[in-house]
C-alpha cells in the first residue's frame, strides 16, 4: 500500500479510531488537532456505533486473549470516531503520536500518555503495520467515503 509522490516520499494511509471514551469525554477535537498540527491529512472520518460483529472482526487477532470480551464491550459501548489518515510513513508515525498500548507506560506528549490512564480505556486505535491498515480500512469505509484531495500547504510540509 502507499503511493509515491516524489523520489523520497512514500505516502501511506492508516486506519485510526478514537474509541468511545474520546467522544464521551469530549476530547475528539483535541485529539484530531494532534494529527492535523503534525501535517497529516484526514481523508475519511465518521462517527459510528460499532456493532459486535465489526468489533470482533476488527480485533480478530486478539480473539483468544483474556481481555477480548471486555475489549469488544468497550469498543461497542458508545460511538467511536473512525478515520483514515494519510501522510509520509503515516502508519509508524501515527503509532508514535498515539503512544504505548498501556497509557501508564505511554510517554507524556503522546495521546495515550496525555489523555488516558487504563489499558482498557486507552482512547485510540491506530493500524500497527501496512498489512493491518490494508485490512482495517475497508472494514470501516467504502471506497467512495475516502476523499482524494490535495492540501494547499503540502509543499510546506514536504520538501
Ligand X SMILES: Nc1ncnc2c1ncn2[C@@H]1O[C@H](COP(=O)(O)OP(=O)(O)OP(=O)(O)O)[C@@H](O)[C@H]1O
- Chain positions contacting ligand X, by CB under 6 A: 62, 67, 71, 101, 119-120, 122, 125-126, 128
Is 62 annotated in the active site? Answer: no
Minimum CB separation of residue 126 from ligand X in Å reads 5
Say which of 58, 80, 125, 126 is annotated catalytic: 125
* Dihedral, 17, 22, 26, 29 alpha carbons, nearest 10: -40
51 by Cβ neighbours in 10 Å (0-12 / 13-18 / 19+) ranks as exposed
Query: How far lies 2's CA from each of 74, 87, 129, 146, 155, in Å?
Result: 31, 9, 12, 14, 19
Task: Tell me whether residue 77 or residue 158 sits nearer to ligand X (CB atom).
Answer: 77
Task: Tell me whether residue 9 or residue 23 sits nearer to ligand X (CB atom).
Answer: 23
Instruction: Report H helices in the chain.
Output: 21-24, 28-38, 52-58, 68-76, 90-98, 111-115, 130-140, 154-157
Minimum CB separation of residue 51 from ligand X in Å reads 17
Task: Tell me whether residue 62 or residue 104 sits nearer to ligand X (CB atom).
Answer: 62
Q: Strand, helix or coil at 50?
A: coil
Minimum CB separation of residue 49 from ligand X in Å reads 18
Task: Tell me whether residue 120 or residue 130 sits nearer to ligand X (CB atom).
Answer: 120
Indicate which residues carry an active-site annotation. 125
Amino acid at each position: 500500500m502507499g503511493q509515491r509522490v516524489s523520489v523520497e516520499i512514500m505516502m501511506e494511509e492508516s486506519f485510526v479510531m478514537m474509541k468511545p471514551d474520546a467522544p464521551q469525554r469530549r476530547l475528539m477535537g483535541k485529539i484530531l488537532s494532534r494529527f492535523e498540527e503534525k501535517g497529516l491529512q484526514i481523508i475519511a472520518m465518521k462517527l459510528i456505533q460499532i456493532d459486535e460483529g465489526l468489533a470482533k472482526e476488527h480485533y480478530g487477532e486478539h480473539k483468544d486473549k483474556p481481555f477480548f470480551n471486555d475489549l469488544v464491550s468497550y469498543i461497542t459501548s458508545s460511538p467511536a470516531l473512525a478515520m483514515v489518515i494519510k501522510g509520509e510513513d503515516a502508519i509508524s508515525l501515527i503509532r508514535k503520536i498515539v503512544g504505548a498500548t498501556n497509557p501508564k507506560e505511554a510517554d507524556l506528549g503522546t495521546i495515550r500518555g496525555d489523555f488516558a490512564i487504563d489499558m482498557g480505556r486507552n482512547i485510540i486505535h491506530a493500524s500497527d503495520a501496512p498489512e493491518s491498515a490494508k485490512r482495517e480500512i475497508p472494514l470501516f469505509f467504502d471506497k467512495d467515503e475516502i476523499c482524494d484531495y490535495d492540501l494547499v500547504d503540502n509543499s510546506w510540509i514536504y520538501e
